[in-house]
Structure 1
């Protein structure tokens, strides 16, 4: 009788061990990929609503608002050395809410708001000579909260706010210095959307229109000159792929691309955000990555160089920030940074 009781206890013990092992395996499976590392602080004053882009192996950040003044300073980040160098100030009025992008080896900044006037002036930065040159004004209406991107050696600016929500788009050719209006983005008008490029195509996601956070998602193909609607960023279909699509939509988020995938992080909805999502154009699906490990924020800027994405500055409530973080989407989360 005693042996039977012992055997019974052993049989009960094995399922417990199995459950414990299964639990450990499940926990490992749920580890979110993507690791954030804090880098050397941005040397300029804290700010929000700046512009950021990359040219070659360097990142650039400039303009913005520090809680008191609009700014026109401009900075270069050496990702290899992890240090900042101040470059020539942007000409024209100090501003925030402008658009910045790189195309054909040069940087570009235009539009924005100087505290009293919406702007449409447009400037080219030559990184080799540290010189700004004014180019033809943006041909659309003066605005802020637009998006811009560079793809196939041309630049694009569209959407935003000029006392009306907008959806028009324009192409800039650095070789000729001329602007051409292209087809407007589909779907809703929007401001404070986010853009990123993957190879030879550009993507515009989210934003706000008529107090609604938008969930439509669009791809622009400069070869055809047309916009294509992709899967929405909310649980809208009867399929299971979008069942976990919660918290992707936002305003003033940061977008960048790495190794054929796009990334969307930070911004705000009902509050400031820190969640990070990865977009795979091959499957047209989004996957959640490790949350941003710094303070949740909105109106930050970002760029990608090499194998990493970078986030700089931003605002959390009335607190303006100057830290910079590096993101590696292929490393597992670590709480050491």
Structure 2
């Protein structure tokens, strides 16, 4: 019984210290407008965010980088394929990738690679499946896995699953 009490005391003392550090903290807001359904990826301790849409329906093709050390946002090169809502976004290695998505009237199958060292977007191989937006995705190592998504409306959803390895 004494061992359990000691364990409980240790958990309360040390657990509170550890868990107490995991709190939300307000950081610098994204410049210009609040937005939803945007693209976000991280590279080398920086966060990249862009595209999406505003509450009034306005959509964007701008992109920003957030420096977590200085708590500041800086504008980078615009996304070259125009405005996109709910696109695919991920990072592998030292590059960020954004593609697919919806612009308010059409879907895109294009995929672009962002190189932060040159601030340039380069078109990669287009997605060979049905164009879509709002898909689920994750990376493991140097591979993207992506699936699902919508082609618009309330009855058009995909159940396919894809793998992409950048060249």
In the TM superposition, what whole-angstrom CA distance separates every residue of 1:22-57 from its partner, at most 9, and x where no partner exists? xxx8xx98xx75300101121232111101110111
Distance 1:139 1:44 in 2: 34
**Which residue pairs with 1:59 in the alignment?**
47
**Structure ranking higher on relative contact order (CA contacts 8 Å, 6+ apart):** 1
User: Which runs of 5 or more residues in structure 2 are unaligned?
Assistant: 1-11
In the TM superposition, what whole-angstrom CA distance separates every residue of 1:47-83 from its partner, at most 9, and x where no partner exists? 1110111011111101000133111100100001111
**Which residue pairs with 1:173 in the alignment?**
165
Distance 1:68 1:80 in 2: 33
Choose the corresponding residue for 2:61, options 65, 72, 82: 72
In the TM superposition, what whole-angstrom CA distance separates every residue of 1:103-149 from its partner, at most 9, and x where no partner exists? 12100011111101122111100011000011111111011110222
Distance 1:44 1:157 in 2: 30
**Which residue pairs with 1:4 in the alignment?**
none
- Secondary structure of 1:77's counterpart equals strand
Q: What root-mean-square deviation, in Å, do the aligned CA atoms of Structure 1 and Structure 2 show?
A: 1.8
TM-score by length of 2: 0.81
**Which residue pairs with 2:100 in the alignment?**
111
In the TM superposition, what whole-angstrom CA distance separates every residue of 1:211-259 from its partner, at most 9, and x where no partner exists? xxxxxxxxxxxxxxxxxxxxxxxxxxxxxxxxxxxxxxxxxxxxxxxxx
Aligned pairs for 1:122-201 within 5 A: 122-163=111-152, 164-175=156-167
Q: Which 4+ residue blocks in structure 1 deviate beyond 3 angstroms?
A: none
Distance 2:120 2:82 in 1: 17
Distance 1:133 1:78 in 2: 23
Asked if residue 85 in structure 1 is aligned to residue 74 in structure 2, the reply is yes
CA distance 1:111–1:40, change in 2 (3 Å): same
**Pair member with larger Rg:** 1
**Which residue pairs with 1:44 in the alignment?**
32
TM-score by length of 1: 0.41
Count of residue pairs the alignment pairs up = 147
| 1:100–1:149 contact (8 Å) kept in structure 2 | no
Aligned pairs for 1:1-337 within 5 A: 33=20, 34-66=22-54, 67-163=56-152, 164-175=156-167
- Secondary structure of 1:102's counterpart equals strand
- Secondary structure of 1:36's counterpart equals coil
Distance 1:171 1:149 in 2: 10
| 1:49–1:65 contact (8 Å) kept in structure 2 | yes
